Amino acid sequence: MRKLASYVADAWVEGEGPTTTLFNPATEEPVAETSTTGLDFAGAVGHARKVGGPALRELGFRGRGELLRQMAKAIHGGREELIALAIENGGNTRSDAKFDIDGASATLAAYADWAEGLPEGNLLLDGDGVQVGRTARLHGQHVMTPRRGVAVHVNAFNFPAWGLAEKAAVAILAGMPVISKPATATALVAHGLVQLFVDQKILPAGALSLVCGGAGDLLSHLDGQDVLAFTGSSATAQKLRAGEGVIARSVRINVEADSLNAAVLGPDVSPGSDSERLFVRDVVRDMTQKAGQKCTAIRRVFVPADRLDEIGEALAAELEPIVVGNPGSDGVRVGPLATAAQLRDVTAGIARLAEETDALFGGTGSVQPKDVPEGNGYFVGPVLRLSRDPAAARALHDHEVFGPVSTVAPYGGSAEEAGALVRRGGGSLVCSLYSDDRDFLASMVGELAAASGRLYLGSAKVADQSPGPGTVLPMLMHGGPGRAGGGEELGGLPGLRLYLQRTALQGDKSFIKFITE
């Protein structure tokens, strides 16, 4: 069996003692094992700070951008091998694996392109200068420079390639070395990415480390120059926020957590229209892509009350032909959930929803997957539930079922009522709105902007080119308020702010101009 080593202090190091086993979620066969017991995390953090940080800062923004371009090319060159790993360890179909891996290379390439417009050095102006004295001689200017620490990235199990690359792209361009800690259960793909970067000698010493397994005491070595970025459950996020480093040493932290994302169909959308087809397509794709294991997936679907049954039937009809099974088999669109724990959680979540909703499609998710022996694998089929009284519902608005599960519910037709129902979710990464009525969309933006990290405005005018609400684009902010974690990632160059220190310069204008130009 493969043993996954961690890459720390520029060396592949295997842990000692008990190991954690990684499985193929379609067959439940073990595929690898890993351990971090005995790893010197203090040394890893120190090496990243003392070696990786200076090496990255020496390159300047444009030089670091070229690193990202080489990383993107490496992923593209190893694409087929990475897809195979994603099918084997993540339970991804080929299409789902490409979504993850191509998203990783595309994000790196995007930040490489943006780097071309940045200074050669390490200082960014932040806004215009201002007069702060009696005359223009006394001047003030905000600038941003790389923090002198390490960026620790704790990533979720569902996007081992994209999750690693999107965080690393921004941190490395900003000039901070990275220690990436993927979810252990699906670490095979992340390990494959870093293996490509190391073998091709793309990055300078200390710039990127990988922890395959438990984090041990890694976080206890962080201080006020470091950044911790986390994607995962809100329960884990609460523990990280309560950590000694965050509280006592002001470690900067960014969180992307749970999200009960919603889709709202406008009352103006007519049967058979392009906007309705876009709506149905997006909901079904988000339910089934990556077996519904996406932080941006649509969990709640709100439609005008007079069209509830009609839309429910349309969604069920689209779900009917979808094949669940072995992700390596032809025709399979939905593979297994990633882990046995995921299967337990999703099954329990469906049961919780069933207490207050009716079955519309898929029942409890029980399914006999294609080309899988009976009883094997962590499979749940697409499940569509129906809530006729969402105002009285609790689980619908309180509990995210992280699988191929969504619930359809009615609203009275007004933006105010739809907005109130969506806000019951407590804050989301993305809310998708479908309408050709500009007044309705404008009202919905007013209702939901403060509760959403991103608002996807679906209409007939964008139906033929929209990637859907579930696709995270590097030029748009990824994050959201409240339940979604309160964080902000990506968003183009403003995403660099997480890893840069903002400083106010105050003094003689000519001297400040000399420093900043």
Query: Inter-axis angle of helices 160-174 and 187-199, to 10 degrees?
Result: 50
pLDDT level of residue 236 (50, 70, 90 thresholds): very high
**CATH class, 41-257+490-516 region:** alpha beta
Average pLDDT, the chain: 96
What H or E segment, with its residue span, contains residue 407?
A: strand 405-411
Coil vs helix vs strand at 422: helix
pLDDT in tens, 99-146: 999 999 999 999 999 999 999 999 999 999 999 999 999 999 999 999
Q: pLDDT tens digits for 38-69?
A: 999 999 999 999 999 999 999 999 999 999 99
Query: What are the boundaries of each domain within the chain?
Result: 41-257+490-516, 262-473
* 247-274: average pLDDT: 95
Distance CA 257, CA 237 (A): 7
What is the DSSP code (8-state) at residue 472?
P
pLDDT digits (tens, 9 = 90+) for 367-402: 999 999 988 999 999 999 999 999 999 999 999 999
Q: Does domain 262-473 have CATH number 3.40.630.70?
A: no
Inform me whether the pLDDT recorded for 258 exceeds 90: no
pLDDT at 422 over 90: yes
SS (H, E, C) 430-471: EEEEECCCHHHHHHHHHHHHHHEEEEEEECCCCCCCCCCCCC
Is residue 413 predicted with pLDDT exceeding 90?
Answer: no
| Angle, CA of 236, 237 and 243, to the nearest 5° | 95
Catalytic residues: 256, 295
pTM of the model: 0.95
